[in-house]
Amino acid sequence: MINAAITGVASYVPEKVLTNFDLEKIVDTNDEWIVSRTGIRERHIAAEGEASSDMSVKAIERLLEKTGVKAKEIDAIIVATVTPDMLFPSTAALIQEKIGASKAWGYDLSGACSGFLFALKSGSALVQTGHKKVIVVGVDTMSSILDYTDRNTCILFGDGAGAVLLEPTEDDRYGIIDNLLFVDGSGADALHMKAGGSRKPATHATVDAREHYLFQDGRSVFKRASLDMAKVSVDILNKNNFKAEDVAIFIPHQANKRIIDVAARRAGFTDEQVLINIDKYGNTTAGTLPLGLDEVVQENRIKDGDLVLLAAFGAGYTWGSTLLRYGPTRKA
């Protein structure tokens, strides 16, 4: 049976770093509150004019360099993002042109913090039905939709991009094993952007009312995220007859260190098994999981064939988990 394997990963974060101490000068907050409530110390912020396609192109260029794959070999580009450069054309189209992926088609997918898992599932389906090289990107320029007068939200997020190469394999030592993916639209009230879509097109009034920024009811989202990210992490292991100790690395979505701790504890992981980088990046929404995967590969925390568990929770609500065996790494 043909399965999709992740044969390479790369990422990019913008140069500019915004620390908690920088935020203390902008809103009524402090480093101690942010660290103790969220685990975040700093986040990277896009430069003026730097958009999601720009960050994605940087990540993909690194991916192509590492793997030795040429842009014109790519069959499809799927981009998970809630901060596309424009509502249309898709960020995938802009990336296709910038990197010269002459035969690729592609599209954007909106799954918020779970977007990368949804895009991985879509990319796997393309690989299983004949595509040879699919690039799956998770990217968000959260700074473009944050209200830097709102301390409840502006401290939480950062910008970043990650990309993986999916290729077919018939070797059962590698590839995506299973996904558990969910949406529950009753969560829409708790986490959304009010204006700028067809419901409420941009007007002077929507701008004056600051409705083009992310809105979040943090407490409601926190409760659901803690429950569901833990449950979906445990469920996928049970369903596939794996124990916590079989997993080389657990890469949870990085929205809040306390949510991560709940999931890690319920699933029975040791600290060494859990990737935590929220301190450096904050919540980069769809960028988070591929950024985390790139970090564990770069730090040699996993090798080809190792079992990796990804899990996420985000706006929608959306949530899910993916279990895979990493590699085989394609080297240039």
- By beta-carbon proximity to ligand ACO, the closer residue of 144 and 329 is 144
**Longest C-alpha distance within the chain, in Å?**
57
Q: How far is the CB of 42 from ligand ACO (least distance, A)?
A: 14
Catalytic residue among 3, 113, 131, 154: 113
Q: How far is the CB of 281 from ligand ACO (least distance, A)?
A: 13
The amino acid sitting at 167 is: E
Residue 234: name the closest of 249, 224, 220, 244 by CA: 244
Q: How far is the CB of 226 from ligand ACO (least distance, A)?
A: 8
φ, ψ of residue 42 in degrees (nearest 5): -155, 165
Does the annotation count 240 as an active-site position? no
Catalytic residue among 20, 131, 154, 253: 253
Does the annotation count 113 as an active-site position? yes
- By beta-carbon proximity to ligand ACO, the closer residue of 38 and 53 is 38
- By beta-carbon proximity to ligand ACO, the closer residue of 8 and 287 is 287
Q: How far is the CB of 246 from ligand ACO (least distance, A)?
A: 27
- By beta-carbon proximity to ligand ACO, the closer residue of 150 and 304 is 150
Does the annotation count 204 as an active-site position? no
The residues pairing with 309 across neighbouring beta strands, listed in sequence order, are 250, 323
Enumerate binding residues for ligand ACO (CB under 6 A): 29, 33-34, 37-38, 112-113, 151-152, 155, 191, 218-219, 221-222, 225, 255-256, 259, 283, 285, 313-315
Q: Which helix (H) or strand (E) holds 214?
A: strand 214-216
Q: Is 200 left (phi over 0), alpha (psi -120 to 50) or beta?
A: beta
Q: Is-contact 44 75, C-beta < 8 A?
A: no
What are the start-end ranges of the H helices in the chain? 20-24, 31-38, 52-67, 91-99, 115-128, 151-154, 204-208, 218-239, 257-267, 278-281, 288-298
- By beta-carbon proximity to ligand ACO, the closer residue of 199 and 219 is 219
Q: How far is the CB of 29 from ligand ACO (least distance, A)?
A: 3
Catalytic residue among 3, 20, 179, 283: 283
Residue with tokens 């920024």: 213
Catalytic residue ranges: 113, 253, 283
